[in-house]
Amino acid sequence: MVMLRNTFNTDEHAQGEFALLPEGEYVLRCTDTEKREAASGEEMLAVEFEVVEPANRRRLNCTCFINFWHSKEQVREIAFAELGRILQAMDLPRINDTSDMHGKQVAVLITHEPSGGRTYHRFQGWGAPGDVPPPAATQAPAKKPITEPDDDLPF
């Protein structure tokens, strides 16, 4: 048995919330795929990832939801295109089972997108690890080019 120092009150802690990764570029490894039910009742593919790089974010997880069982054709088309980009980044031109994705790594830019009162990860620019350039370093302001001295100066 473990005694808590204080009483844990579930009303004081959000249920079902998840921590967002900071926006930025990541290398992720696919750890699991499963069919889940959305709040709308429609099924979707959940692709689970763990962070590989940057090293200080390892062991953090995120999920990409792909709605290719959605009732709207346009949403399904977008979902198939998204899955295609992920598979291309994983160098998997064809799969019959999503378990083929497990263990594969991808590079991606993660941003945040608010929707329905919550904020979600938005995955952009899928690529093979090494294809995505590292974040741009802060650049010093541009300096005026050095020119030859002007002999007409009085000093």
Residue-range domains of the chain with CATH: 18-127 (2.40.50)
Q: What is the mean pLDDT of the chain?
A: 80
- The proportion of the chain whose per-residue pLDDT surpasses 90, expressed as a percent, equals 50
The pair phi, psi for residue 146, each rounded to 5°, is -80, 130
Tens of pLDDT, residue by residue over 71-88, are: 899 999 999 999 999 999
pTM value? 0.71
